[in-house]
Structure 1
Amino acid sequence: MHAHRLALRQAGFSLIELMISMVIGLVVIGAMFAAYVGSGLSSRNTRAMSQITEDASIALSVMRSAIAATSYIVPEGSDATGFLSATGNSGRDNTLSGCNNTFEDPSATLGTLDCSEGDGPHAIAVSYEADAQNSAVSAGGVPLDCLGNEIPDSGGVRPAYQRFYIQDGALHCRGPGNDSSAALVDNVIDMRIQYGVACTPAGVPVSPCSEPEQEGRVVRYMDAAAIRGADTRLFDWAVSVRLCVTVASADNVLDTTTQYTNCDGDKADAPDGDSDRRMIRSFTTTIMLPNRQEGHL
């Protein structure tokens, strides 16, 4: 009896028991590894989405501020008819223009901007009088352009002439405080712009209103090519701007190349083909141009 009990105490696991234990252990290890890999991929995608959202937010915020100020002037007083008057004409003529591609020469004056041929990321140019109400200011209280440079004084006013366009996969800006453009936001790969054009009152033949109550209201959205093909004076009758930017992640974060939804709402292939595994998203906003309601009538 004593020998039998000693034999039982010395007996180990059987081969079947060992194999079952190994399988269970491998399953547990595999589950832990899959959870670890999944957590890493999720974290990587989350960081990429945060970067995309932040880049889009900065791009739209800066452009919204500049575009919304289009035609703004600082009033000095009123004339005999009761209408506001201002120094110069910086807030009235040639305050908005655009292209369905980049500008041929971004240094040209707003009224003489020509467009590069073909269709590509759109470009927009705006002009307004800068002050502390519509612009960030320096420590000395001087309004700053889109790149943070002081806007030069011109006869007592500071005309802000801002141009935005896509170059080398980044949103570029050229303002009056610098002699060349500079990248404002990286990873912006496309920009699409439409202009909400109001009808014109009686006596203005560009886009006559079918009903008097339509004056000053958006009656159609047109891109820059359509406006330039019809009559460039329609830029003067734009009272809103629909702006869309497409932003990509800085790195390849997806397992495979994936289609994205572009600014037109269509599925599009990644720009760089099968090797492009970036996450890409499009963001749209509509900007009202309040200073133009009466400025062009």
Structure 2
Amino acid sequence: MNIETLQYFQYIGKYKNITKAAKHFFISQSTLSRHIMSLEEELGVKLFERDNKKIQFTEAGEALYNECELLIRHLQIVINNVQLADKGNTGTLRITSPGKLCKTLSDALILMKEKYPSINLIVESYNFNEIPCAILYGIYNIGFTYDFACSDYDELEIIPVGTDDFSLLIPSKFYKNPSKESIAEIVKSLPLILPTYIEPPFMKLIIHEFQRFAGIKKINTIYVNTTESVVFDVSLGLGYGIVPTSLTKSKNSDENISYINLDDFSAKGTIVMLRKKSNTSEIVNSFVDIIKDLSKKDLKE
């Protein structure tokens, strides 16, 4: 199994069409088909159901497609690490965060550079609900996310490093200067837009309070794929959303969006740092210790 073949498989699944996938890679359909047949033979399963018009995943194909992106990235990391080791450079620390969740991360990076001047630091953005899996797959050594996104991962060490508020996200063209007194009207006039992934445990309590404020039994709710989609839809005036304040404000400066902080609703999430328990390298341990020390200082202050 190699990256090239996995990418071919991924794009056939994306387009549901061998011709379009072949054009994407500028190769012939026969070449693409040979790669897929080789992959099926290697795995001992059938990945696609084919007919004259289109192709569909088998259950095995669906399972591979769902893991394909992480698998490709993991293989790329392994290859890169091997090449770095061959050059005598093994000091690489890979960190991921969905955005500027807390100042602790930037402070820790400065201290890490001072301690290891030649270290290769790689910091990348990732969807916060997918970060636990990315750590388990070894794509990153350290991840920052919210506690409610990683409650069922026994293989991970989960270290609290801060908190984040949640806010109501509202289209400014309907409510130019919204306040908490506006919530009842907003709830009655617009649909609530939420991402489909894991919801914070307090979300039901917030929604219940909104229902009470508005005097309604049920809130009209629309589900979209990501928090970014929530922000986009709200900016278009399609509804209102409930989002992590720090994460969303750090990525968004859209004048079409206004915020109402929901601190009165006990709407807080714990920001956590993740690392795989089995990863006990010196570099990872040093970074974890720096984060722990900074977090203790923040708590005292």
Give the TM-score of the pair, scaled to structure 1. Answer: 0.20
Task: State the structure with bigger RCO (CA 8 A, min sep 6), 1 or 2.
Answer: 2
Give the TM-score of the pair, scaled to structure 2. Answer: 0.20
Larger helix fraction of residues: 2
